[in-house]
Structure 1
Amino acid sequence: MSMFREMRRKRQQLTEEDSIAILQKATSGTLALLGDDDYPYAVPISYVYHDGKLFFHSAMAGHKVDAIRKCDKASFCVIEQDNIQPEKFTTFFRSVIAFGRIHIVEDEQEKLQMVRMLGNRYNPNQDEALQKEIESGFSHMLAIRFDIEHLTGKEAIELVRQRPHNTGE
């Protein structure tokens, strides 16, 4: 038996390809960790998706870092669309949740690759500036890797019905 539950409303489930496309397109989400005194700690954060993994950067210390060091299980949620339909009392939403294991990257080469990936995602074609930023900030920055074990995407039933292959029953 899988440790991750099945989605109740199967028709609203996105394909893995669609879910990955959302992760590739979006730039921020909410990272959920086991925080102080086992209270859930959910923090908005920028990221980059690559090859089944999410990458984040962080300051050297803080609630997030303590939580990651204490427990490596995490989830990450991205909302791609949240289009309110007041007259229908509903929302046309599309979102993705990733579950997996999260680690602070200790290896300097892997950390450097990740920092470059993040830099190129958010400041494309700024190689010189990125290099300067890395040189000045690299030692004060943590690199965090999230290995996705389970990915689930969901959309509003109205969006399912709008898809060309659906007959709308």
Structure 2
Amino acid sequence: MLGKLSEMEIDRLLKEQVVGRIACQSNGEIYLVPINYVYRDGYVYGHSAEGKKIRMMRENPHVCFEVDEINSIFQWKSVIANGKYEEITDFDEKQQAMQGIIHRIMPLVTSAEGHPSHGITEKDSDVGTLVELVVYRIKLEEITGRFEQG
């Protein structure tokens, strides 16, 4: 059976998942990339080093965000939302966003060498010293949710 997720089910899925995907578009090019995120009050919060994704979202802040939960080919949930990229410059807001992301991903770290930068730097000691992180949020708009339950 195919169906639509309720607003409460959409909110729950966005809060439960840790990895989502951002699709951005600039100068005729489309780029889709997974991110670790935290969802709060209608916003997806994420962070990244400077690169293609950040450059494209700065050029065109209109993005699409997708998250899903797949148990099998016939049992899944998916949320897709259009939204707007906003770079966070306020120190306190950046710190709160990063703490939220860290709290979501740290329970999933399986080795002592793991750290919240999740691959931006090679070692814990490099976090914050070698790479300037861009912290951002996406205001979700036009949110839809679907499911299949077989």
Q: Normalising by the residue count of structure 1, what TM-score does the alignment of the two structures yield?
A: 0.71
Please tell me whether residue 47 in structure 1 is matched to residue 37 in structure 2.
yes
Give, in whole Å, the separation in 1 of the partners of 2:64 and 2:93: 22
Please tell me whether residue 118 in structure 1 is matched to residue 98 in structure 2.
no
Q: Which runs of 5+ in 1 are unaligned?
A: 1-10, 85-90, 163-169
Give, in whole Å, the separation in 2 of the partners of 1:30 and 1:117: 18
Give, in whole Å, the separation in 1 of the partners of 2:55 and 2:90: 19
Please tell me whether residue 144 in structure 1 is matched to residue 136 in structure 2.
yes
Alignment of 1:15-34 (within 5 A): 15-34=6-25
Give, in whole Å, the separation in 1 of the partners of 2:61 and 2:46: 14
Aligned residues: 134
Higher RCO, 1 or 2 (CA under 8 Å, sep at least 6)? 2
Q: Deviations over 1:17-74 (max 9, x none)?
A: 1011011111101101014x32211101111001111000100x21101111101111
Give, in whole Å, the separation in 1 of the partners of 2:143 and 2:94: 24
Which residue of the partner structure matches residue 75 of structure 1?
Answer: 64
Q: Which runs of 5+ in 2 are unaligned?
A: 108-114, 117-123
From the two aligned structures, give the one with the greater helix fraction. 1
1:137 aligns to what SS in structure 2?
coil
- Give the conservation status (yes or no) of the 8 Å contact 2:19–2:35: yes
2:92 aligns to what SS in structure 1?
helix
Shift of 1:136: 4.6
Shift of 1:149: 1.4
Percent of aligned pairs with the same residue? 30
- Give the conservation status (yes or no) of the 8 Å contact 2:84–2:139: yes
Larger Rg: 1
Give, in whole Å, the separation in 2 of the partners of 1:118 and 1:146: 14
- Give the conservation status (yes or no) of the 8 Å contact 2:10–2:145: yes
Distance 1:93 1:107, change over 3 A: same
Q: Which amino acid aligns with 2:59?
A: K
Give, in whole Å, the separation in 1 of the partners of 2:142 and 2:102: 26
Q: Normalising by the residue count of structure 2, what TM-score does the alignment of the two structures yield?
A: 0.79
Give, in whole Å, the separation in 1 of the partners of 2:127 and 2:12: 33
